[in-house]
């Protein structure tokens, strides 16, 4: 059956040097439950409920946030239709860029690989800021110790790097335990809010479409879509699952459905607890402390203290999830020659992509140190440098992932058209096209309102410099792909093929006369 890419590949020194197991991630490490918990950890439920939701209510004034999560869930379910079908045909740790390369060509795949590396790195590094700030606050509150935010942040960098070096099934267990406890506590709050509602009772006003109006809607779309990031990571682990053609797509739909319903319900619970008429003003005043204020009055100080601790562990789980994804993208890129060949090896003992893990640990260390050096805590707002690290990097990462999802949607269409099977997949391709257009629209809104998204003043250079990071990654990746096509065609031809290129090399060696 035609694949849309030639199966006659030029010889590659990079590929020929990897004949052993260190070129491949260990198979059969993850089942449905392990993979689901790994990808859901990236969504950091407690961080979203305590951080994203009050910001969307208070800063952007969107009362209909519960309905917004439902609408985004539908868009991403449409996206998953084509993306899941693609996952049955392409198993590659470089999921996004592999799919884009197979559909839109290797040069586009090279650009996507760099965008993915930058976007997921930014999202992971950004979490260190708010984690360090929260731990510093816990030390001050409970131990009366003044601790600079960057100290626990660097400790978290080291711990994440160590776990990233270990087996993925061990990582999944760590992520799973933290995630389940975190979700359970959020559900306890949700139930408490509904049993002890605010002045307007069990109001469903937040699900009224009229509540989605206002100038902040575009910004809220870009901000809330970051809460879903994680579900699209399941194909990254395809090589490590027991039955990738079944498990990956199953996990994708389960993750999208869970996130949409869980966050819609929790956002509604917040409006019920405060009252829809007061949720914007209350959130604007309390900020990230809104959830903890509400639990204090309904569930007591002990529960709130535990929630603070789980807030930290939930962020740690998200960091570990993003770290695993970045290291696997780096591994896939090293295996195919987009990065130095050392990144394409795995640890002999654990099967983890160790060099990619070290790369992400090094990047995170440098960024945290850079923000620590420019920290103006003694002279200005003590939260500014820390929250900037979180909001700036998180927003950059969310923009990058949104663009990757849009490009992947169009790549799915091109892939099946080039295979000559578009007719058999027509409803999936229509879903992919609709999702691609919607995601592209969200990305445009995000760039347009990026200054609001990161809290920049009107006219600030941050409004174009920060989204420009993703733009620069796209341009650099396209230029890199063009250079590879001209000077190293053997590497260019393998972009997105992963282990398939290795198998084709072996077949060619076995039949040298063909």
User: What residues form DSSP beta bridges with 30?
Assistant: 241
Contact of 178 with 317, CB cutoff 8 Å? yes
Tokens of 408: 């992947």
10 Å CB burial of residue 377 (0-12, 13-18, 19+) is middle
Contact of 368 with 154, CB cutoff 8 Å? yes
* Residue in the block written with tokens 């290795």: 502
10 Å CB burial of residue 201 (0-12, 13-18, 19+) is exposed
- The DSSP secondary-structure symbol of 420 reads T
pLDDT at residue 130, rounded to an integer: 85
User: What residues form DSSP beta bridges with 241?
Assistant: 30
Contact of 280 with 58, CB cutoff 8 Å? yes
The span from the CA of 404 to the CA of 232, in Å, is 10
Annotate 218-247 with three-state secondary structure.
HHHHHHHHHHHCCHHHHHHHHHHECCHHHH
* Residue in the block written with tokens 């099946």: 416
The span from the CA of 491 to the CA of 2, in Å, is 21
pLDDT at residue 32, rounded to an integer: 78
Whole-number Cα distances in Å, 227 to 51, 68, 508: 10, 12, 46
Closest CA to 95 of 115, 113, 121: 113
CA angle centred on 24, ends 21 and 27, rounded to 5°: 100
- The reported pTM is 0.86
Tokens of 164: 């990233």
Whole-number Cα distances in Å, 362 to 48, 158, 236, 306, 388: 27, 10, 22, 32, 20
10 Å CB burial of residue 1 (0-12, 13-18, 19+) is exposed
Annotate 97-117 with three-state secondary structure.
HHHHHHHHCHHHHHHHHHHHH
Contact of 371 with 363, CB cutoff 8 Å? no
Tokens of 418: 């080039």
Closest CA to 299 of 194, 142, 180: 194
From first to last of the 514 residues of the chain, give the pLDDT tens digit.
344 454 445 544 444 444 444 555 555 566 777 778 777 877 888 888 988 898 888 878 889 999 999 999 999 999 999 988 888 888 777 788 999 999 999 999 999 999 999 999 999 998 898 888 888 888 988 888 888 889 999 999 999 888 877 655 555 677 677 788 888 999 999 999 999 999 999 999 999 998 886 666 777 887 788 888 878 878 777 777 777 778 888 888 888 999 999 999 999 999 999 999 999 999 888 877 899 999 999 999 999 999 988 888 888 888 888 888 888 889 889 888 899 988 888 777 666 777 888 889 999 999 999 988 876 544 344 555 566 788 888 889 989 999 999 999 999 999 999 988 888 889 999 999 999 999 999 999 888 888 877 777 777 888 899 999 999 999 999 999 999 999 999 899 989 887 665 555 544 445 554 4
The long-range contacts involving 204-207, CB below 8 angstroms and separated by at least 24 positions, are 204/268, 205/63, 205/271, 205/276, 206/63, 206/64, 206/65, 206/66, 206/67, 206/267, 206/268, 206/271, 206/276, 206/279, 207/64, 207/66, 207/67, 207/268
Residue burial 265-300, b: 16+ Cβ < 10 Å; e: rest: ebbbbbbbbbbbeebbebbeebebebbbebbeebbe
Residue 458, classed as helix, strand or coil, is coil
Closest CA to 126 of 315, 310, 284: 315
* Residue in the block written with tokens 């998953």: 80
């Amino acid at each position: 059956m035609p694949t849309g890419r030639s199966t006659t590949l030029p010889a590659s020194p990079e590929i020929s040097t990897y004949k052993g197991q260190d070129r491949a991630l260990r198979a059969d490490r993850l089942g449905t439950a392990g993979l689901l918990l790994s990808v859901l950890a990236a969504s950091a439920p407690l961080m979203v409920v305590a951080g994203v939701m009050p910001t969307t209510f208070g800063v952007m004034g969107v009362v209909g946030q519960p309905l917004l999560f439902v609408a985004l869930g539908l868009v991403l379910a449409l996206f998953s239709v084509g993306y899941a079908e693609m996952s049955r045909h392409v198993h590659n740790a470089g999921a996004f860029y592999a799919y884009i390369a197979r559909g839109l060509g290797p040069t586009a795949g090279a650009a996507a690989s760099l965008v993915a590396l930058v976007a997921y790195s930014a999202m992971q590094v950004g979490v260190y800021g708010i984690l360090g700030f929260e731990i510093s606050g816990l030390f001050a509150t409970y131990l009366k110790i003044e601790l600079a935010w960057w100290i626990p942040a660097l400790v978290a960098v080291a711990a994440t790097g160590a776990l990233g070096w270990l087996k993925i099934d061990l990582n999944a267990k760590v992520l799973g335990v933290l995630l389940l406890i975190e979700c359970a506590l959020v559900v306890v709050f949700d139930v408490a809010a509904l049993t002890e509602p605010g002045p307007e009772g069990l109001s469903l006003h937040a699900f009224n479409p009229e509540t989605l109006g206002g100038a902040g809607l575009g910004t809220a779309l870009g901000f809330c879509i970051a809460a879903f990031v994680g579900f699209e990571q399941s194909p990254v682990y395809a090589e490590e699952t027991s039955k990738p053609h079944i498990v990956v797509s199953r996990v994708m739909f389960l993750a999208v459905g869970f996130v949409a319903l869980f966050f819609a319900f929790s956002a509604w619970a917040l409006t019920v607890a405060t009252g829809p008429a007061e949720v914007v003003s209350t959130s604007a005043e309390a900020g990230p402390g809104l959830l903890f204020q509400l639990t204090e009055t309904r569930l007591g100080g002990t529960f709130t203290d535990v929630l603070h601790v789980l807030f930290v562990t939930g962020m740690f789980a998200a960091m570990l999830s993003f770290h695993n994804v970045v290291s696997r993208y780096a591994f896939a890129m090293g295996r195919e020659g987009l990065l130095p060949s050392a990144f394409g090896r795995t640890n002999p003992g654990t099967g983890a992509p160790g060099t990619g893990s070290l790369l992400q640990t090094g990047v995170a260390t440098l960024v945290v140190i850079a923000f620590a050096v420019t920290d103006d805590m003694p002279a200005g707002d003590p939260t500014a440098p820390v929250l900037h690290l979180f909001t700036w990097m998180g927003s950059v990462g969310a923009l990058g992932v949104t663009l990757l999802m849009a490009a992947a949607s169009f790549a799915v269409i091109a892939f099946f058209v080039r295979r000559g099977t578009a007719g058999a997949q027509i409803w999936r391709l229509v879903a992919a096209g609709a999702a691609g257009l919607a995601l592209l629209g969200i990305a445009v809104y995000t760039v347009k309102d990026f200054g609001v998204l990161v809290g920049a003043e009107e006219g600030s250079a941050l409004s174009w410099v920060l989204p420009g990071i993703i733009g620069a990654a796209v341009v650099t990746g396209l230029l890199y792909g063009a250079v590879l096509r001209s000077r190293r065609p053997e590497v260019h031809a393998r972009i997105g093929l992963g282990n398939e290129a290795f198998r084709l090399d072996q077949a060619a060696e076995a039949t040298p006369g063909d």
